Amino acid sequence: MMLSSIHLCFLIFLFEGCYSSGYTYQPIVERPVGLATYTPSTSNFSGVDFLKWINQQPYSSDGYRQLAVAHGQYDVYSTGTMLGLSNMNNTILWFDGVTLTFRVFQTTSSITAWNTNNCAIRGLTIHQNPPGTSQAVIYNITKIANGKNWVDLRVCDGYSSDFFYKTTNTLLPKEPFQPIIDLSLGNFATNLSSDGRSFRIITYDGQMANGNMIIGSMLAVRGLGHVFHYIRAGSNFSFVDYTMTSSAGMGWWIDWGYGGHRFERVKIMRNPSPPVPGGVPPLMSLSSDGIHIVGMHRGPTIIDSYFDGMGDDCINMLQFFSKIWSAQSDSSVFMQTYGHWQTGDRLRLYDSDLHPMGYATITSMRNVTNGNATVVLSVLYNSSAYASNLDRTNSDFVISRNTFYNSRGRGILCKAHRGEISHNNFSVLALGGIDVQPETGSWMEGDYAADVAIKYNVLEDIGFYGWTGYGSSISVRLNRNYQYGGDIPPAGAFSNISITDNIITGSWGHPIEIYSTSASQFSRNQIYGPFRSSFPVVNLYNNEGLVMSDNCAWGNTTGVQLSNVNATSGLQADCANHSSTESSSAGIDKDSSTTISSQMVTIVSSVNCAASLSIYPLVFVVTLHLL
């Protein structure tokens, strides 16, 4: 079926002023003249031949080398690793003016680097055709019993039909807003045609409401594939002026080693061209995360880059919580470990609910099998169930001047320490904008962040999938849906989180959530309506020494929610138009579930709000929820 009659309209948000850092075209830096240049013998690019050529090229007297590939458009038919770099140092590979189009699905990662130091790939553009995602158009809808519907679709020309029969959910990206994104396919799709390209799914009436799905709508589905770039056990690998438009898996998985990798002017985006003439362009870019950074000593620098159409999170910085299986003595445990852990590493220990218990140092390790080891600790707390490694927290990261747009997941999922998230634009992200969140359940991704500055970011229309514990514009909390159980961690799980000078507008979920912090700050932020949910504009729980001052918001009707106030430090407000106020739980019955009217605190922001806006100023109403 030719779908040339389908027209997609994209809404681009432009921001003005000192907060804005919207993505603008920046010319690619071209290679220096006179470099040794590899010229492929045909239009089919062979990574094996290219690597052989690289290994024959000498280094200059200073120990560095710069090599280039001849300008051109090349096809790649390798199903395995196309380019595998190993134990390489001080090498820049120039691909400016080069496009590689992968014509078959990969059975493993396409570009890998093992134990490389001070290397870079510059200027490369990567396409995958057929794309690593798929999509289909609705051609018939039939209402059946029990509030259900048959929805019949046909796969668009140039896209794989396999993904619809092998995945459990699909994505309906209806710009600019889409309240239903993960549409369960139940027992997958039912085939309706001999060629396997027409199929049927079952939907509920609620999923069809408000024109979410009508005849002519397109459904995009994530693919099933491998991480495209896999970087392990190295340092200072740079990707500069790099464009990637499709993958059936993640864009980058980077783990182990020192880290300190750099992404500059990288674009992960939907291919504007259809896979076949007369077809329709992809609705998605990658099937999963854009950049996935795991357990590095030093975090990444990601600047001046663009993320669009991700099937999951744009950037995820994490390590894994390690399960402590058993205590073998007063200080020895049998636990999960990872290949980059070593004697001397500092650990943080947690109970079974991931509440922090204390700190310890690895004094010795004896590797066993299957990723587990016997570890001797400097101290062991009773009932310790999990551990995180404080020397593998992706520290000293910088994420600045980037644009995050129209993706299913979150813009930045941060579990790292000592870093900055600043001057970025976030728009139309389903699950959240900036989430400082360890994750529980099957993911078990840590750590609780510390010493992180979130400043001068603009977040617009975030969280339209915000009713299941997700959807915050800016969130600091353990990612758990507390309505289904589990205690909120105590103050101090996170520490020194600074959220200042950000602009938030048009939220679906919680605009701001700050849980379980100590010595943190929420100041000089501007929050604009419309607020599309009944959640509080600012939601605060279990914080100690949280300074909240000079914030300004308009269109607020839901107030500020506060729980478990600390009697000593509590919540401080320092507003020019109001005397400094510290909320206190002194004299309150902690067992009472009734709101005490005498504890209602009014905090008036003192930010100079733009006179041109038709607004009314926010009065933060603080409600004390007593425990």
The 10s digit of each residue's pLDDT in 537-551 is 888 889 999 998 888
- What percentage of residues in the chain have a pLDDT greater than 90? 55
Binned at pLDDT 50, 70 and 90, residue 42 comes out as very high
Could you tell me if 565 and 514 lie in one domain?
Answer: yes
Could you tell me if 276 and 256 lie in one domain?
Answer: yes
Q: Is residue 24 part of a domain?
A: no
Above 50 in pLDDT, residue 104?
A: yes
Which amino acid makes up residue 100?
A: L
pLDDT for the residue 615: 25
Mean pLDDT of 319-326: 93
Mean pLDDT of 297-316: 95
Mean pLDDT of 103-132: 95
Q: Is residue 509 part of a domain?
A: yes
Instruction: Report yes or no: 618 and 554 within 8 Å, Cβ to Cβ.
Output: yes
Could you tell me if 212 and 353 lie in one domain?
Answer: no
Any residues with CB less than 8 A from the CB of 612 and at least 6 apart, and which?
none
Mean pLDDT of 280-289: 92
Binned at pLDDT 50, 70 and 90, residue 583 comes out as very low
- What is the model's pTM? 0.86
Helix, strand or coil, per DSSP, at residue 403: strand
Above 60 in pLDDT, residue 262?
A: yes
Instruction: Report yes or no: 446 and 388 within 8 Å, Cβ to Cβ.
Output: yes
- Mean pLDDT of the chain, nearest integer: 81
Q: CA 503, CA 424: separation in Å to the nearest integer?
A: 11
**Could you tell me which residues are beta bridge partners of residue 254?**
231, 293
pLDDT for the residue 571: 46
Domain boundary among 350, 365, 386: 386
Q: Is residue 28 part of a domain?
A: no
Name the E strands within 103-250: 111-114, 117-128, 134-143, 148-155, 169-171, 182-184, 190-191, 198-204, 218-221, 229-232, 235-244
Mean pLDDT of 221-250: 93
Mean pLDDT of 411-433: 95
Q: Is residue 312 part of a domain?
A: no
Above 80 in pLDDT, residue 6?
A: no
Binned at pLDDT 50, 70 and 90, residue 483 comes out as low
Q: Is residue 277 part of a domain?
A: yes
Helix, strand or coil, per DSSP, at residue 166: helix
What sign has the CA pseudo-torsion 124, 284, 11, 292?
A: negative
Higher pLDDT, 518 or 580: 518
pLDDT for the residue 592: 23
Q: What phi and psi values does residue 207 have, to the nearest 5 degrees?
A: -75, -20
Which of the 8 DSSP states describes residue 409? S
Cα–Cα separations (whole angstroms), residue 592 to 487, 562, 587, 627 = 18, 15, 12, 7
pLDDT for the residue 522: 94
Which domain, by its residues, includes 198? Answer: 134-221
The candidate with the shortest Cα–Cα distance to 132, out of 153, 151, 110, is 110
Could you tell me if 502 and 560 lie in one domain?
Answer: yes
Cα–Cα separations (whole angstroms), residue 611 to 16, 256, 503, 551, 616 = 16, 51, 16, 16, 11
Could you tell me if 604 and 540 lie in one domain?
Answer: yes
Q: CA 275, CA 156: separation in Å to the nearest integer?
A: 10
Which of the 8 DSSP states describes residue 295? S
Binned at pLDDT 50, 70 and 90, residue 442 comes out as confident
pLDDT for the residue 163: 80
Higher pLDDT, 208 or 624: 208
Any residues with CB less than 8 A from the CB of 311 and at least 6 apart, and which?
133, 171, 222, 284, 286, 287, 288, 407, 408, 409
Domain boundary among 186, 221, 256: 221
Q: How many domains does the chain have?
A: 4
Kindly report which listed range (17-26, 205-214, 522-531) carries the lowest average pLDDT score.
Answer: 17-26
pLDDT for the residue 539: 86
Q: CA 604, CA 582: separation in Å to the nearest integer?
A: 13
Q: What is the 3-state secondary structure (H, E, C) of 366-398?
A: EECCCCEEEEEECCCCCCCCEEEECCCCCECEE
Binned at pLDDT 50, 70 and 90, residue 446 comes out as confident
Higher pLDDT, 290 or 220: 290
Q: CA 67, CA 143: separation in Å to the nearest integer?
A: 61
Q: Is residue 410 part of a domain?
A: no
The winner for highest mean pLDDT among 43-57, 379-393, 586-600, 606-620 is: 43-57
Instruction: Report yes or no: 221 and 133 within 8 Å, Cβ to Cβ.
Output: yes
Report pLDDT digits (tens) over 122-168: 999 999 999 999 889 999 999 998 888 899 999 999 999 888 777 65
Higher pLDDT, 306 or 167: 306
Above 90 in pLDDT, residue 106?
A: no
Kindly report which listed range (216-225, 421-430, 504-513, 556-565) carries the lowest average pLDDT score.
Answer: 556-565
pLDDT for the residue 447: 92
Above 60 in pLDDT, residue 581?
A: no
Could you tell me if 528 and 583 lie in one domain?
Answer: yes
Report pLDDT digits (tens) over 159-201: 998 887 776 566 554 555 455 556 655 556 788 999 989 989 8
Q: Is residue 413 part of a domain?
A: no
Q: What would the two tokens of residue 481 be?
A: 């849906």
The candidate with the shortest Cα–Cα distance to 272, out of 10, 26, 1, is 10
Could you tell me if 459 and 522 lie in one domain?
Answer: yes
Could you tell me if 194 and 240 lie in one domain?
Answer: no
Kindly report which listed range (151-165, 414-428, 574-588) carries the lowest average pLDDT score.
Answer: 574-588
Could you tell me if 115 and 231 lie in one domain?
Answer: yes
Any residues with CB less than 8 A from the CB of 377 and at least 6 apart, and which?
331, 332, 333, 347, 360, 361, 362, 363
| Angle made by CA atoms 288, 99, 219, in degrees to the nearest 5 | 35
Above 90 in pLDDT, residue 205?
A: no
Higher pLDDT, 597 or 74: 74
406: enclosing H helix or E strand: strand 403-407
pLDDT for the residue 327: 86
Q: CA 101, CA 244: separation in Å to the nearest integer?
A: 10
Q: CA 456, CA 459: separation in Å to the nearest integer?
A: 10
Q: Is residue 419 part of a domain?
A: no
Could you tell me if 337 and 253 lie in one domain?
Answer: no
**Residue in the structure block whose two tokens are 């120039």:** 94
**Residue in the structure block whose two tokens are 């079926």:** 1
Higher pLDDT, 9 or 510: 510
- Beta strands at 601-604 and 552-553: parallel, antiparallel or unpaired: unpaired
Mean pLDDT of 65-86: 97
Could you tell me if 114 and 255 lie in one domain?
Answer: yes
Cα–Cα separations (whole angstroms), residue 573 to 108, 399, 576 = 54, 29, 10
The C-alpha R_g of the chain, in whole angstroms, comes to 26
pLDDT for the residue 576: 38
pLDDT for the residue 279: 95
pLDDT for the residue 441: 82
Higher pLDDT, 568 or 364: 364
Could you tell me if 255 and 215 lie in one domain?
Answer: no
**DSSP string over 536-602:** -SEEEES-BSEEEES-EEBS--S-EEEES--SSS-EEE--TTS--EE---TT--TT--S--GGG-EE
pLDDT for the residue 549: 87
